Amino acid sequence: MASKNYPSPGRGVTLAGLARRLGGRRIEGDENLRIVGVATLEAGGPSQLGFVRGQPQAAALATSKLGAVIAPEGVACGARPVLRSANPSRDFARISALLHPRPRPPTGVHPRAFVAEDAELDATVSVGPLCSVGAGARIGPRSVLHAGATVADDVVIGADCLLHIGVLVCSGTRIGDRVILQPGCIIGGDGFGYEFDEQGRHEKVPQLGHVVLEDDVEVGAGAAIDRARLGATQIGRGVKIDNLVDIGHNVVIGEDAVLIAQSGVAGGAKLGARAFLMAQSGVGGQVELGDGTFVGARGGVIEDTAPGSRVWGFPALPERAWHRSQAVFARLAELLRRLRRLERHTGIGDEDGK
């Protein structure tokens, strides 16, 4: 059932004000309508804004109580005011951030947090309860550590970073500005490295390197990025890493790459700028993906790819070849029956006719 707890219209921004902040969007209807928040089509109230992607979704507006919507040109939205946009999802996200800013905890160190004596924290940093900041760590202006976050020895964190509940940043990690670490992610744990000793047992390989997260990186909940064996595991500017992603030691990821949930990158692999790994896909050790490579869901890449490649499946095939192979796979049972009939007809095949 839709919520009836609508926000009070006594605050917010007019549609005209929202249009200006988006760089000038066309308005149909009452441009002075005051918007105090965003909501779904089903749960929204008269002072809230929703969005529609196209005409099929707009049909749900018939029963919606939303005060206004943001929608593409040409999509009929009834009598309610409309903010027209070529990209309603993106503009809706920007409006959401404007109307629903994240509350910022007070600056300073919570009395139940631990900060080493030689750690250097900017005066504007916020450190929540049960946090730990190790020896020699440095944290830049306006960065926030939420409850239970751990920053180990010799970690450097830049400005405006956000470490959510339970984040663990291991020793030596270097983090740039505006980095977001979602709950429970682990940055800088040992890489998975072993050799066999003379008796054939596993012997741990020391992991002596560290991790570098450049500016504007986001790491999802439960993700893990391993420290390098030597040197650095390097995550480039603007990389977005989803929940439960695993990145091995000495991996290098180029700017603006995206890794979706449960994907994995083995040690020493290199992903070019704007590479895109769909869910549950994997990249083998020492493999290099060219800039802009797209790997489909559950794809497994074990050979280098050229820039702009689009690959699917395991072992990964070019997109068209993979689609053709899937079409054949769907007909395998029929093709096998036809082959057996042909063998019986011609007398070619196994003696028992199987």
Told to judge if 249 belongs to the known catalytic residues of this protein, a careful annotator would answer yes
- CB neighbours (10 Å) of residue 299? 25
The Cα 309–Cα 320 span in angstroms is: 11
**Residue 123: C-alpha distances to residues 109, 157, 272 (Å):** 10, 14, 38
Q: Nearest Cα to 173, choosing from 113, 114, 224, 126? A: 224
Half-sphere exposure in the Cβ direction for 257 (13 Å, CA): 32
The residue annotated as part of the active site, out of 146, 164, 210, 249, is 249
Segments in 168-223 forming alpha helices (H): none
Q: Nearest Cα to 12, choosing from 39, 43, 40, 41? A: 39
The Cα 191–Cα 207 span in angstroms is: 6
Q: What is the DSSP letter of 7?
A: P
Answer yes or no: are the C-beta atoms of 188 and 211 closer than 8 Å. Answer: yes
Answer yes or no: are the C-beta atoms of 21 and 35 closer than 8 Å. Answer: no
Answer yes or no: are the C-beta atoms of 69 and 82 closer than 8 Å. Answer: yes
Answer yes or no: are the C-beta atoms of 127 and 110 closer than 8 Å. Answer: yes
Element (H, E) at 51: strand 48-51
Largest CA distance in the chain: 87
The Cα 106–Cα 124 span in angstroms is: 9
Looking at the annotation, which residues are catalytic?
249
